[in-house]
Amino acid sequence: MSTVNKRPLLTLVLLLCLAVVSGLSFLYLGMDFGALFSGDAGSQMAAYAGNFLRPDVSPIHLGAIGRGVLETLAMSLIGTLLAALAGLLLALPAAGRNGAALRLAARFLLNALRSIPELVWAALMVLAAGLGPNAGTLALALHTAGVLGRLFAEALENTPSAPAEALRLAGSGRFAAFSYATLPLVWPQLVAYTLYRWENNIRMAAVLGFVGAGGLGQMLYIHLSLFQEAQAATVIAAMLVLVLGVDSLSGWGRQRWVRA
């Protein structure tokens, strides 16, 4: 697929602007790459990196990591499910089913939930609900509710309304019409979006611990704070395995069940 660029001059100018912006960024930050990798700093960095090459694989530490992985998975699972529920509840007004005023309000709420990153929600939830995985679960649920709510609302808006109208005209209630005429049509999309976000959330749950919200991240933060590089290296390896495992599993699932 090759297209002829219709505005070569504009493209050139924009690309030049981008190059200038990136140059200014380096200037503003005043990064000194020379000092970063010169003599002493370089060898110090190499020594620091070397500490990570001897990961701690003692059974006790591996057990703790296993628990951390379970905690991470549980946080992401519960957080995503809660988000799917809340997202669906918010998507109904956001799709314009309860009037224009509620539609605007719901959209604004979804945007606000979505714009605040998970990690910031986690920091807030640690204040509101105390340290630990509960805060992480709530943080994931809040951010993901915003993301899923918007996607769900779009899915609902694009669903044909004829089946639901037929049921309504035949005398069914609103709830029954939604459950038996609208939901079956959007269900596959809702499940696909939710699974996709779950995949994202597993990765996110692994780092929410940096602000004290449980999971593998908390272990990593603590070990690094105590300069226990060997233990930290094992946690990073566990994160890597978790992310790669989720990636390949979802890739396999997509090929198996989703037809392009």
Partner 1 sequence: MKPPLRDNPPRDPASRTRLSLAIVALVLLWPALQVSEFNLAALLDPANIHTMGSFLSGFWPPTGDPVFVALLARATVETLAMATAGMTLALALALPCSLVATRALSRARLLPNAEPGSLGLVLRWPTRSLLIVLRSVPEIVWALLFVRAVGLGPTAGVLAIAITYAGMLGKVYAEIYESVDLRPAQALVQAGSSRPLAFCYGLLPNALGEMLSYTIYRWECAIRASLIMGFVGAGGLGQQLDLSLRMFAGGEVAAILLVFLALVMLSDQLSAGLRRLLV
Return residues touching partner 1 (CB under 8 A). Answer: 1-3, 7, 10-11, 14-15, 21-22, 24-26, 28-29, 31, 36, 41, 44-45, 48-49, 70-71, 73-75, 77-79, 81, 111-112, 115-117, 119-120, 123-124, 127-130, 132-134, 136-138, 180, 203, 206-207, 210-211, 214, 220-221, 224, 236, 239-240, 243-244, 247
Task: Check if the beta carbon of residue 77 is closer than 8 Å to that of residue 197.
Answer: no
CB 234 → partner 1: shortest distance, Å? 13
CA 83, CA 150: separation in Å to the nearest integer? 12
CB nearer to partner 1: give 127 or 258. 127
Q: How many CA atoms lie within 13 A of 31 on its CB side?
A: 9
CB 133 → partner 1: shortest distance, Å? 5
CB 81 → partner 1: shortest distance, Å? 7
CB nearer to partner 1: give 29 or 162. 29
End-to-end CA distance of the chain: 19
CB nearer to partner 1: give 138 or 186. 138
CA 54, CA 231: separation in Å to the nearest integer? 9
CB 99 → partner 1: shortest distance, Å? 25
CB nearer to partner 1: give 99 or 128. 128
CB nearer to partner 1: give 14 or 99. 14
CB 31 → partner 1: shortest distance, Å? 6
CA 87, CA 89: separation in Å to the nearest integer? 5
CB 71 → partner 1: shortest distance, Å? 6
Task: List C-alpha distances in Å: 151 to 20, 90, 201, 202.
Answer: 36, 11, 16, 19
- 128 exposed, middle or buried (CB, 10 Å; 0-12, 13-18, 19+)? exposed
DSSP letters, 63-91, are HHHHHHHHHHHHHHHHHHHHHHHHHHHHH
163, amino acid identity: P
CB nearer to partner 1: give 8 or 59. 8
